[in-house]
Chains A and B, each alone.
Chain A
Amino acid sequence: MRTVAGFLVGIAVGSMSITLLFLGMRAVMDVGGACADGGPYVSAQPCPTGVPLAMVAAMFGLFAAAGLIMWFGSRIGGLAAGVVAVGWPLLFIALGYNFVDYAFQSPDGEPGPVWSWLIPGVLFFLVGGAPVIVAIWGWREARGGGSGRSSRLVNRLTGGAAADPAATERLVFPTDPAARPIEPSFTSTAFAPAHRSGDDALPRDGG
């Protein structure tokens, strides 16, 4: 129960941090895209009140969230710890959306797209979207029983190979139901001891 609570707190902190970054970025873009506070000079463009605190807190919050999700997710087993990987595309696509949105609706009222915001927007979409495409590709291949490099990677990431070195190539989606893993799995060997000592880890229900 505490494991699930910690895991969910990690997810809430993560989405809270991405929301803070998203809104903070929009606030900074509203004043032209850059701002500065402090130091020996008078800033031409001071930051909107509270935005620096919100954004710095959100950056640290993302690390805390990733730690919580991986720590407690590895105790839950299965793909729970892998939820942390969703944070990357969410962050980059959310911030990329801001760039593209402001490229076409610039606060300056310039006609046409603002290229210096459109280009980073497209780049952010690529950075955020590429892992999703690769993941879906690998997942489909693994599901289909393929033995390519991407499906081997998916199986290794999700199959709990750390508990049993001989099971490195064990399939998550074997065609024989009897061959499905009954042991709970964890994504990283770094969490194996924590998982082993966990008293609330139950075998998977076989899927």
Chain B
Amino acid sequence: MSDSLRRWLPVLIIAAALIGVWLGATLFAALT
């Protein structure tokens, strides 16, 4: 794991969390 990746990890974590929220909302709309 490179140093730059490690430095950007907090940003990537927040981005992944936001993508997850979007995925959840989309999936819920599709299921219901």
Give 1 or 0 for each of A11-27: 1 = CB within 8 Å of chain B CB: 11111111110111001
Beyond A4-B9, A76-B1, A80-B9, whether A12 also contacts B16 by CB under 8 A is yes
CB neighbours of B15 from chain A (8 A)? 8
CA distance A13 to B28 in the complex (A): 14
Beyond A4-B9, A8-B13, whether A15 also contacts B31 by CB under 8 A is no
CB neighbours of B13 from chain A (8 A)? 8, 11, 83
Query: Is the C-beta of A174 less than 8 angstroms from some C-beta in chain B?
Result: no
Q: Check A3 against B1 for contact (C-beta < 8 Å).
A: yes
CA distance A48 to B28 in the complex (A): 12
CA distance A80 to B5 in the complex (A): 13
CA distance A11 to B6 in the complex (A): 16
Q: Check B32 against A15 for contact (C-beta < 8 Å).
A: no
Q: Check A16 against B9 for contact (C-beta < 8 Å).
A: no
Chain B residues 1 to 32 lying within 8 A of chain A, measured CB to CB, are 1, 3, 5-6, 9, 12-13, 15-21, 23-25, 27-28, 31-32
User: How many residues from A make CB contacts under 8 Å with B?
Assistant: 33
Query: Is the C-beta of A162 less than 8 angstroms from some C-beta in chain B?
Result: no
Query: Which of A18, A50, A200 is the one whose CB lies under 8 Å from B24?
Result: A18
CB neighbours of A20 from chain B (8 A)? 24, 27-28
Chain A residue nearest to B30 in the complex (CB): A50
Beyond A8-B12, A8-B16, A51-B32, whether A16 also contacts B1 by CB under 8 A is no
CB neighbours of A201 from chain B (8 A)? 1
CA distance A72 to B31 in the complex (A): 30
CA distance A13 to B12 in the complex (A): 14
CB neighbours of B6 from chain A (8 A)? 76, 202, 205
Q: Check A19 against B28 for contact (C-beta < 8 Å).
A: yes
Query: Which of B1, B20, B23, B27 is most buried by chain A, counting CB atoms within 10 A of its CB?
Result: B20
Q: Check B24 against A23 for contact (C-beta < 8 Å).
A: yes
Question: Apart from A8-B13, A12-B17, A200-B1, what are 8 other A-B pairs with CB-CB below 8 Å?
Answer: A8-B15, A15-B19, A16-B20, A23-B28, A54-B31, A76-B6, A201-B1, A205-B6
